């Protein structure tokens, strides 16, 4: 060799070209240790407990309860009340939601339903004009849009039956945040700016979220004295303060002044309900999720039953074949949702049929692996023969094996935009989650029918999907998301990313998502899906639509090594925190 060792750099280049980089590495640097780890990003790790929510202050409130010896339910209730202060667009005591609890001591799984309900004066055609047409904004941005709030009743029930700490203790952080205020983040400031029209038309809302006639800006301090007062009343008097006492009086007065329907009697009659979760299995894991009036648990299990037939791991995450199969499965599930899901007190939901693996076997026979079926050609299936007899999510896990998944909502960002005067409480616009007219899409484009029509005392159908995955009978994954109709598919993809694709919870959150809800016939996708993949999907007949971000998951994975948590960076204010 003419060059010998006189030009080592040139020698290295030649060796790379001739023998390949790995051979050269072995020859010239046998002792160098390169990174052999696989994770693209690592989640937060802890040994004793974990809280993951959409705001760091709320996560810290929950963690403080764990550190003082409380259990996961104590932490979940503290987080829920704190989010009512620091996440005004979705955290709430003026809305409602669902909580899923795994109690380690008894091995029991409990679903708490504190979904809003329709007032006694509500009726099927309340949002239609004389011509039978939907009155614009009546079910979204008016006092008629407000359902009876359930959050306070639900959180109190959870704490009383499954928690260990006093209500005044778990509410202390929320009261402090409301009284002393907190700094408005760029993310919250942007949302206030976007929703200024709806918030700004109500003096009670404008007094809190505006300054000098404009929405609060990043760096301003949001102080909520009226809300602090309301929270103190609840902390000392319990839910009676909200449903029968001073707060109830103020909410009823707000309704009466603006021709709303909620009365003092409606508030007094409200009850949170304990239900049995829906259950399924997927590749040896047990799936536990929320039953109706949530549609989420039923359809997550239904879709997993169908997807279990496909080799997703071998096909690869977000490959064209995997995304095509997911899109077709989603269409079938959402078509069934439009027909069969509603409040089980008013409609017999065929839960067993919809979650039957035999029914899933039948449905996948209709899926063409090479071409999309037009949504217009899909009709709700017939699950009965298989019967056989802006929203936020947070997840909590403690060292005793208790886990809690909670999703609750005001519906749209800041709900109705209406603060009940003197309470500081933003009220929901959850009545839009009913089918205000059969076949007419709601604010999320979801179509419904008679099963979800408006009736007095009825709870509107929801997509909220707090979910727990068990491995060998013990909690393995706790997850959920906000996102309206996209909650179900976001939660589904989180489970697939962990179980099928071997991702940690951070990688699972960062992976681009897709969504298909039958009507409209669109496969929505986040940026990050390859152009080549999108071209193949178009060739298969998928109608592609680029989408803003979908979902903001809060996920905890539990193993013998401890807890791995991750707050979806689609909301930069969120935080997973443990100790």
pLDDT single digits (tens) 335-357? 999 999 999 999 999 999 999 99
* pLDDT over 50 at 158, yes or no: yes
137 is known to lie in a ligand binding site? no
* pLDDT over 90 at 547, yes or no: yes
Kindly state the average pLDDT of the residues 529-550.
97
Q: Within a domain: residue 5?
A: no
| pLDDT the model gives residue 26 | 43
Q: CA quadruple 487, 493, 496, 499: dihedral positive or negative?
A: negative
Reported as a single tens digit per residue, the pLDDT across 274-305 is 999 999 999 999 999 999 999 999 999 999 99
Here the CATH number for the domain that contains residue 568 is 3.60.20.40
Integer Cα distance of 420 and 255 in angstroms: 8
* pLDDT over 90 at 442, yes or no: no
Q: Within a domain: residue 27?
A: no
pLDDT > 90 fraction of the chain, expressed in percent and rounded = 88
Range name among 86-90, 338-342, 356-360, 477-481 with the lowest pLDDT average: 338-342
How many C-beta atoms surround the C-beta of residue 513 within 10 A?
26
Kindly state the average pLDDT of the residues 196-222.
97
Integer Cα distance of 305 and 295 in angstroms: 16
Given 79, 391, 423, 494, the catalytic residue: 391
| pLDDT the model gives residue 440 | 74
* pLDDT over 50 at 17, yes or no: no
Kindly state the average pLDDT of the residues 202-224.
97
391 is a catalytic site residue: yes
Kindly state the average pLDDT of the residues 370-374.
97
| pLDDT the model gives residue 25 | 44
Tell me what the pLDDT averaged over the chain comes to: 93
- In 3-state terms, what secondary structure has residue 424? coil
| Residues 416, 145 contacting (CB under 8 angstroms) | yes
463 is known to lie in a ligand binding site? yes
Kindly state the average pLDDT of the residues 45-49.
98
Under the banding of pLDDT at 50, 70 and 90, the label for residue 35 is confident
Q: Within a domain: residue 203?
A: no
Reported as a single tens digit per residue, the pLDDT across 239-251 is 999 999 999 999 9
* pLDDT over 50 at 4, yes or no: no
Reported as a single tens digit per residue, the pLDDT across 92-111 is 999 999 999 999 999 999 99
Beta strand ranges found along 65-107 (DSSP E)? 96-103
Q: Within a domain: residue 268?
A: yes
Kindly state the average pLDDT of the residues 560-564.
97
| pLDDT the model gives residue 181 | 98
Q: CA quadruple 197, 203, 207, 208: dihedral positive or negative?
A: negative
485 is known to lie in a ligand binding site? no
| pLDDT the model gives residue 437 | 79
**Which residue range is the domain that position 57 belongs to?**
49-181+223-378+391-412+422-452+463-578
Higher pLDDT, 445 or 480: 480
Integer Cα distance of 264 and 241 in angstroms: 12
Range name among 52-66, 137-151, 373-387 with the lowest pLDDT average: 373-387
Under the banding of pLDDT at 50, 70 and 90, the label for residue 33 is low
* pLDDT over 50 at 19, yes or no: no
409 is known to lie in a ligand binding site? yes
Q: Within a domain: residue 28?
A: no
* Total domain count, the chain: 1
| pLDDT the model gives residue 7 | 47
Q: Within a domain: residue 282?
A: yes
Higher pLDDT, 33 or 329: 329
Kindly state the average pLDDT of the residues 48-69.
98
160 is known to lie in a ligand binding site? no
Q: Within a domain: residue 38?
A: no
Q: Within a domain: residue 104?
A: yes
In angstroms, what CA-CA distances link 414 with 91, 141, 243? 9, 10, 21
* pLDDT over 90 at 441, yes or no: no
- In 3-state terms, what secondary structure has residue 194? helix
* pLDDT over 50 at 478, yes or no: yes
Q: Please, what is the end-to-end C-alpha distance for the chain in angstroms?
A: 61
* pLDDT over 70 at 439, yes or no: no
| pLDDT the model gives residue 8 | 44
438 is known to lie in a ligand binding site? no
- Classify each residue of 73-89 as buried b or exposed e, where b means 16 or more C-beta atoms within 10 Å of its C-beta: bbbbbbbbbbbbbbbbb
Reported as a single tens digit per residue, the pLDDT across 485-506 is 999 999 999 999 999 999 999 9
| Residues 379, 395 contacting (CB under 8 angstroms) | no
């Amino acid at each position: 060799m003419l060059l010998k060792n006189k030009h080592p750099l040139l020698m290295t280049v030649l060796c790379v070209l001739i023998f390949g980089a790995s051979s050269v590495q072995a020859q010239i640097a046998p002792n160098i240790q390169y990174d052999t780890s696989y994770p693209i990003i690592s989640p937060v790790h802890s040994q004793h407990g974990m809280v993951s929510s959409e705001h760091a202050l709320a996560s810290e409130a929950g963690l403080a309860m764990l550190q003082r010896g409380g259990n996961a339910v104590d932490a979940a209730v503290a987080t829920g009340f704190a989010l009512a202060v620091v996440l005004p667009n979705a955290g709430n005591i003026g809305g409602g939601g669902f909580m899923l609890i795994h109690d380690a001591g008894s091995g029991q799984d409990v679903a708490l339903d504190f979904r809003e309900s329709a007032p006694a004066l509500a009726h099927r055609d309340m949002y239609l004009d004389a011509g039978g047409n939907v009155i614009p904004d009546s079910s979204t941005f008016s006092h008629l849009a407000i359902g009876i709030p359930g959050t306070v009743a639900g959180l109190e029930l959870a704490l009383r039956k499954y928690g260990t700490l006093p209500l005044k203790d778990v509410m202390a952080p929320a009261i402090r945040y409301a009284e002393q205020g907190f700094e408005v983040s760029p993310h919250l400031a942007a949302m206030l700016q976007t929703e200024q029209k709806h918030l700004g038309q109500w003096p009670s809302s404008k007094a809190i979220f505006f300054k000098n006639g404009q929405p609060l800006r990043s760096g301003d301090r949001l102080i909520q004295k009226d809300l602090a007062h309301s929270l103190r009343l609840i902390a000392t008097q319990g839910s009676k303060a909200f449903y029968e006492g001073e707060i109830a009086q103020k909410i009823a007065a707000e309704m009466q002044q603006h021709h709303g329907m909620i009365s003092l009697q409606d508030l007094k009659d409200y009850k949170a309900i304990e239900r049995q979760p829906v259950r399924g299995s997927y590749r040896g894991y047990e799936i536990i999720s929320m039953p109706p009036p949530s549609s989420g648990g039923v359809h997550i299990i239904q879709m997993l039953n169908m997807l279990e037939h496909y080799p997703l791991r071998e096909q690869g995450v977000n490959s064209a074949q995997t995304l095509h199969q997911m899109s077709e499965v989603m269409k079938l599930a959402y078509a069934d949702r439009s027909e069969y899901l509603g409040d089980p007190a008013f409609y017999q939901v065929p839960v067993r049929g919809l979650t039957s693996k035999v029914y899933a076997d039948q449905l996948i026979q209709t899926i063409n692996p090479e071409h999309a079926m037009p949504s217009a050609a899909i009709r709700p299936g017939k699950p009965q023969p298989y019967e056989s007899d802006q929203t936020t999510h947070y997840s909590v896990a403690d060292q005793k094996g208790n886990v809690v998944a909670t999703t609750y909502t005001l519906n749209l960002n800041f709900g109705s935009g209406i603060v009940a005067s003197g309470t500081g409480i933003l009220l929901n616009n959850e009545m839009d989650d009913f089918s205000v007219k059969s076949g007419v899409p709601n604010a999320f484009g979801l179509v419904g029918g008679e099963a979800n029509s408006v009736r007095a005392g009825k709870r509107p159908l929801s997509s909220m999907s707090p979910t727990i995955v068990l491995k060998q009978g013990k909690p393995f994954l706790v997850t959920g998301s906000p996102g309206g109709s996209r909650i179900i598919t976001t939660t589904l993809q989180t489970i697939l990313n962990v179980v099928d694709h071997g991702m940690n919870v951070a990688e699972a959150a960062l992976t681009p998502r897709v969504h298909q809800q039958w009507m409209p016939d669109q496969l929505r996708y986040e940026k990050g899906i390859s152009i080549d993949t999108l071209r193949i999907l178009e060739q298969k007949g998928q109608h592609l639509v680029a989408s803003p971000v979908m979902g903001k998951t809060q996920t905890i994975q539990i193993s013998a090594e401890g807890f791995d948590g991750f707050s979806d960076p689609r909301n930069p204010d969120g935080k997973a925190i443990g100790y």
